[in-house]
């Protein structure tokens, strides 16, 4: 799942600043468990491809904007 989302980020199917589908949507699309979806999103956060805004969700990182600490 992380690889698919990473490809979608690369080809701008998911453009910078767009909200990443939520856990429930990812479970439905990929047929995976919640813990697998959470681990994949954590991997994408670790690689800097997405960022999480507390209370708002997970968004595609914008390479033109500096990351928040």
- Residue 69 domain-assigned? no
| CATH number for the domain harbouring residue 48 | 1.10.10.10
Tell me the C-alpha distance between 15 and 36, whole Å: 23
Dihedrals phi, psi of 21, to nearest 5 degrees: -55, 145
Residue 43, strand partner residues: none
Q: Tens place of pLDDT for every residue, the chain, 69 residues?
A: 999 999 999 999 999 999 999 899 999 999 999 999 999 999 999 999 999 988 898 999 987 665 554
User: What total number of domains does the chain contain?
Assistant: 1
pTM of the model: 0.82
Burial class (CB in 10 A: 0-12, 13-18, 19+), 60: buried
**Position of tokens 């429930």?**
24
Within-domain flag for 65 = no
**What is d(CA 19, CA 33) in angstroms, rounded to the nearest whole number?**
20
32 in any annotated domain: yes
Is residue 68 included in any domain, yes or no?
no
- Find the domain containing 55 and state its range: 2-60
């Amino acid at each position: 799942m992380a690889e698919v989302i990473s490809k979608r980020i690369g080809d701008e199917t998911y453009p910078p600043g767009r909200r990443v589908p939520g856990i429930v949507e990812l479970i439905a699309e990929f047929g995976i468990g919640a813990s697998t979806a959470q681990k994949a999103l954590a991997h994408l956060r670790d690689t800097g491809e997405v960022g999480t805004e507390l209370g708002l969700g997970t968004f595609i990182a914008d390479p033109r904007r500096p990351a928040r600490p």
